[in-house]
Chain A
Amino acid sequence: MSGYLLAAGGDPATPDAGLSMTPSLALVLAIGVLFTTGVYLLLERSLTRVLIGFILIGNGANLLLLVAGGRAGGAPIVGITPVEQMSDPLVQAMVLTAIVITLGLTAFVLSMAYRSWQLHGHDEVQDDLEDRRIARIAAANQPSYEDTDTEESGSLDTEAPTVRDETSTLGRDDRRRRHPDGGRDE
């Protein structure tokens, strides 16, 4: 732990001059808690819990962006905060849209939960039936789809007479040369 250097919190009025990027332990802990609880809930099956987990992860990610963006400072408004004391405005713009998008996503997942409840009586995410079916097929080594074209049938020898072109007749009557089904599938 010798690499850690616990610096005292700076005075809010005079944040570190220059571009000191030392992260704040408090924010780091908040990120840890939000991600841990968020993932814990995200791995649930209830859509409501998944959604709550997602919101928590979103909050944690927003904080992560903020920390990665650099030091705390004054509001980035020209004329109110001196430029060298401003917090980074770019990450704030990113986080701002992220917050609003989280709202849209929350509403979307909520309506999915509601719809799932309407149809199934619960809001739990079930295993996908098609995937289960494929797993069964794989276990039984059955063909995964019907394809009569690939099944083993005759050799070239036996198939060759069934393959004829729609040729001109060269003056002969059609009776003998035209196969009734032209080799088409039964």
Chain B
Amino acid sequence: MLLLLVAHLLMALAAPALVSLFHRRAFWVMALAPASAAVYALAQTSRVMDGDYPEQTVSWVPSLGLELAFRLDTLSWFMLLVVGGVGALVLVYCSAYFSATAAGLRRFGAVLTAFAGAMVGLVTADDLLLLFVFWELTTVFSYLLIGHYADRKASRRAAMQAIVVTTAGGLAMLVGLVVLGEAAGTYRLSAVVADPPHGTAVTVAVVLLLVGAATKSALIPFHFWLPAAMAAPTPVSAYLHAAAMVKAGVYLVARFAPAFADRTEWKVLVVVLGVGTMLVGGYRALRQHDLKLVLAFGTVSQLGLIVLLVGYGTRGAALAGLAMLGAHAMFKAALFLVVGIVDAATGTRDLRRLTGVGRRLPATATVAALATLSMIGFPPFAGYVAKEAGLDTLVHGVGVGDGWADGVVLWGFVLGSILTVGYSLRFWWGAFATKDPLATSTARGAHVPANAHVPAAGDVSARRARNASRAADADDPEAPVDPADIRPPSILLVGPPAVLALLGLAAGLFPHVGEAVLGPYADTYPDGEPGHLTLWAGFGAPVALTLLVYAAGILLFRQRGWVERFQASMWDAPEADRVYRRTMRRLDELAADVTAATQRGSLPFYLGAILVVLVAGPGIAGLAGWSGELRVKAWDRPAQAVVVVAIAVATILATRARRRLKAVLLVGAAGYGNAALFLLHGAPDLAMTQVLVETITLAVMVLVLRRLPPYFSDRPLARSRWLRLGVGLAVGIVMMAFAVVAPLARVATPVSVDFPAEAKEFGGGSNVVNVTLVDIRAWDTVGEISVLLVAATGVASLVFLRRRSGEIPRAQATGDLSAQETVWGDVPDRGGALRTRGLPDGADAPRMRPWLRAEQTLAPQRRSVIFEVVTRLVFHSMVVFALFLLFSGHNAPGGGFAAGLLVGIALLVRYLAGGRYELGEAAPVNPGLLLGTGLFLSAGVGLLALLAGGQVLQSVILDWYLPVLGHVHLVTSLFFDIGVFLLVVGLVLDILRSLGGEIDRQGELAPEDLDRGPENELELLGPHRTGGGRA
């Protein structure tokens, strides 16, 4: 069975190429796929009838318990035959139906073949979840096929409606399947049905399953999508919306009926849905003028009937239902194909315009007559056999359910059959009869009031649409067709429906074959006498009822004009279709309301909501459950108290500060306080890192604040201030509670207990924190430095706007004279007059060697000789010390992070002393290169260990004795740390270049420079380029 699916898949994939090669004839090749399914089913007939059901199981997702389980029992065998047989015939029909120049046949062929495959999977799946997967696949393919003419509004809307309705039902069904699987302890379909679980949850699951079946099989109140789906090409209507897909819901009901049909909720739902659908569909079919719509509403009616029979729960009804399923697949598919022929031959499906078609197309009319008789339930056709079996079992009132159910079902069945006779006759008459002009005009007379309700309902657009469609047609759209124009269709068109119609006759002539084949499945139902399929069961109530059905049906047909007028005057109940559209509209409005209520667009609101949830949820609710003892000690070390007081003062002052700079400095002070707390806690690495980071942060913030207004904007926030303070206090108190409870709540021994020993033994280092970073938790570190890389890239992209790679500002290499003495030249040069050069310009005299390489680019008033000298002296020392930290970090405080930050500070000092050209001189590399190399080294080292046969990121310890250096102890994780180092240097360099150098450059850009600068630079920089404050 898996092979069948693969065949369909391959065929679907090949379909576009096949259509390109063979054009319409490619459908013959595609027909091989469903034909193979039918042939396979036939080949397995004897095994299936012997009860030796073929099974196949392939493990799929073992962790989810999901497997590709297939099983071909009687029901699956029967469905496979229907799906494969009708599918092959419809595909053959397609090869002649579409015009040679029809658009989109590649996609159409592929999707239709894929649909056949999904259907094969659906009916053979023996796993609940697999069943759902195929179920949804058929929904999706159906959507694509209904929307085949995507440029038509009707198609798009019908497709959207179908997928919304059936997917909603599918989701309900999924919940039901999962509940069922969990309750049963297995997802194997056959096992669940064999030993059905019990309980309230199962009751809910069963109802959800029926909801899924009702949406798929177009039962009320979801029936409206099926008539609308007639916007699909006619072969699709024949296959999906008559023979195959809509039968999936029936299949589901038939599949689970043996397990659940004795439940009250099942019985009530099946009876109400079945009888209701049967009557609504039949009633509305009587009024339609489009042949496809007549058949579509007829299908709705028949689906109600079949669901009623297979779901009723008795063996006799089940047998009748299965027979009806097969009979319906044959006659309804045949009739749709016939409508396609009539449509192709005459250009219309409007039964008011068709006349004389039967005389011009006698073969087609005969085929249609055979199928119609089967639909009516006329002997000796399959439809008759099925209906008789149904009547027989219902009349004999098996007494399974309550009395009311039997009565409702029987009379609903009879009434539905009467309607069926009425619309069936009207269909054949409408399609093929020769109508005299008077009769046609009568029909048209009936048509006017029939449509009169539409404008009466205030629907102006409907009138407009109708007028538009009229105006679009040059001819009178309501003129009868001229039979003389009709030519006989090709055998490829008439053949498939003829085969189906004759099969319907054959099945009716040999009813015992059907009984022998379908009986075994019907016998798995728990209740009732076994039914029989026969042409003649003797005189009795069923015969009388059948005659009544014929008589009333013929009367209904003869009085069709009156029926139409009656319906037109009566039909005021809201159509389900409209209810659906209004519901969707309300849903949209509800979504908009919810969005408006929750998505306020205000950042403080969002953050506040998150924080309030934090306080209310984990805070109050979570902490309320703490029952242990609460203990605190005043301090670990007395100095902590002093530092904490300092932090508190600094932060509280920072919140009150109105000057940006003041706030930033105070926060920096608090940060240094944190470093002190780290040190007191016994975390020298943290303290060092915090000090370095705080320094860089402080400097960078000051760099940016140069450009921002000096004061925070004055906003009247007095009212909300108390609210914010309240939220802040609540969060602070909750966090304090966490801080007290978290350490006390620990019950397990920390994993880090073993870290020191592991660090020494495997990591080859003494500094446990550093070994943790580069070895024990190295993957975490890789992730974290990736975040740094992203942040650095983000900073550069936000500030550079265009590209950050490319030129690095160099003092000498560029020879850019415009850079001479211009950097930071935006301050009045008050001391300019006092400053004189030692020698007149142009004198070729020895000059003092510059302390910094780019110092001549700096505006003279901004230069500080002392700063330049100090920078010159400390820069290299800092870099050397950073390298020391890097290489000793494995055994002493330090490591890649600290070393990188220290180099960053050294670069910062160079930048502050000499401007952006000096930064370019100090680090003439692209930060992107550093970032990339760093990440590559860190992650790449891990792969090295993999090559050496170890695990990813495992350390290898190498000890050598070198002649001069002596003992060398090398741990490969050093390279990891070097990677971290490079990446952090790259981060700081990127920050300095962006928030320092580039902001400088943008600030110095005078409007007159724009001609030389990149185009539109001023626009990119925004209107407030030069309006900033000066720090």
Contacts and interface: CB of A to CB of B under 8 A. Distances in A.
Report whether chain A binds chain B: yes
B670 interface: yes
A130 B578 CA distance: 31
A108 B879 CA distance: 26
B683 A26 contact: no
Contacts of B705: 48
Contact of B288 (A73, A157, A168): A157
Interface stretch (B46-54, B172-180, B583-591, B812-820): B583-591
Nearest to B157: A149
Contacts of A155: 454, 462, 575, 577
Given A19-B750, A177-B346, 6 more contacts: A21-B744, A24-B635, A27-B739, A99-B686, A154-B462, A168-B100
A52 B664 contact: yes
Contacts of A12: 636-637
B696 to A, nearest CB: 6
B546 interface: no
Interface in B742-757: 742-744, 746, 749-752, 755-757
Interface in B477-503: 477, 481-482, 485-489
A109 B652 CA distance: 22
A149 B700 CA distance: 55
A144 to B, nearest CB: 5
B689 interface: yes
25 contacts: A4-B631, A6-B632, A22-B631, A30-B643, A32-B735, A34-B732, A36-B731, A48-B664, A59-B671, A76-B755, A93-B780, A106-B697, A107-B991, A114-B999, A120-B1022, A124-B713, A128-B599, A134-B596, A153-B465, A154-B462, A160-B289, A160-B293, A163-B230, A167-B340, A167-B344
B922 interface: no
Given A96-B686, A134-B592, A24 B633 contact: yes
Interface string B370-414: 000000000000000000000000000000000000000000000
Contacts of B708: 48, 113-114, 117, 123
B768 A37 contact: no
B689 A96 contact: yes
A101 B578 CA distance: 56
A73 B679 CA distance: 10
A152 B752 contact: no
Interface stretch (B186-194, B208-216, B794-802, B865-873): B794-802
B13 interface: no
Contact of A154 (B465, B591, B799): B465
B636 A34 contact: no
A25 B640 CA distance: 10
A87 B637 CA distance: 14
Given A39-B727, A66-B681, A125-B603, A76 B768 contact: yes
Contact of A33 (B482, B647, B707): B647
A94 to B, nearest CB: 8
A106 B700 contact: yes
6 closest A-B pairs by beta carbon, nearest first, are: A177-B347, A131-B601, A104-B791, A36-B732, A171-B487, A128-B601
Interface in A34-50: 34-46, 48-50
Q: What band does the interface of chain A fall in when counting residues whose beta carbon is under 8 Å from B?
A: 35 or more
Interface in A76-121: 76-81, 83, 86-97, 99-108, 110-115, 117-121
A68 B745 CA distance: 9
Contact of A184 (B151, B575, B602): B151
Contacts of B684: 75
Contact of A162 (B152, B663, B696, B731): B152
B835 interface: no
A92 B895 CA distance: 13
A186 B468 contact: yes
Given A40-B655, A88-B750, A97 B784 contact: yes
B466 A158 contact: yes
B22 to A, nearest CB: 16
Contacts of A41: 654-655
B1004 interface: no
Contact of A95 (B637, B651, B686): B686
B473 A180 contact: yes
B773 A70 contact: no
Contacts of B834: none
A122 B648 contact: no
Contacts of B149: 163, 182-183
Contacts of B152: 162-163, 182-185
Interface string B327-355: 00000000000001101111111100000
A67 B739 contact: yes
Contacts of B100: 168
Contacts of A161: 290, 348-350, 469, 477
A31 B581 CA distance: 55
Contacts of A172: 345, 347, 485-487
A121 B227 CA distance: 60
Contacts of A120: 1022, 1024
Given A7-B631, A110-B701, A135-B600, A168 B686 contact: no
A34 B739 CA distance: 13
Interface residues of B, number: 197
Given A92-B769, A100-B897, A23 B600 contact: no
A26 B634 contact: yes
Of the listed residues A3, A156, A162, the one surrounded by the most CB atoms of chain B closer than 10 A to its CB is A156
Contact of A23 (B153, B155, B638, B739): B739
Given A44-B604, A73-B682, A25 B347 contact: no
B795 A30 contact: no
Contact of A127 (B233, B600, B717): B600
Given A75-B893, A135-B600, A110 B468 contact: no
B984 interface: yes
Interface string B662-675: 01100100110010
B787 A101 contact: yes
A103 B591 CA distance: 40
A31 B736 contact: yes
Nearest to A74: B682
A143 to B, nearest CB: 6
A156 B101 CA distance: 28
Interface stretch (B70-78, B91-99, B315-323): B91-99
Given A111-B795, A134-B595, A177-B347, A156 B632 contact: no
B760 interface: yes
Contacts of B604: 43-45, 125
B555 interface: no
A156 B465 CA distance: 12
A85 B713 CA distance: 50
A166 interface: yes
Contact of B743 (A68, A134, A181, A186): A68
B417 interface: no
Contacts of B573: none
B636 A71 contact: yes
A153 to B, nearest CB: 5
Nearest to B101: A166
Contacts of B577: 155-156
B348 A7 contact: no
Interface in B727-786: 727-729, 731-733, 735-736, 738-740, 742-744, 746, 749-752, 755-757, 759-760, 766-769, 772-773, 777, 780-781, 784
Of the listed residues A19, A40, A66, A177, the one surrounded by the most CB atoms of chain B closer than 10 A to its CB is A40
A104 B743 CA distance: 29
Given A92-B686, A111-B994, A156 B752 contact: no
Of the listed residues B101, B341, B450, B738, the one surrounded by the most CB atoms of chain A closer than 10 A to its CB is B738
Nearest to A67: B739
Contacts of A44: 604, 717, 724
Given A7-B634, A135-B596, A185-B153, A153 B461 contact: yes
Given A49-B712, A76-B769, A56 B651 contact: yes
B768 A165 contact: no
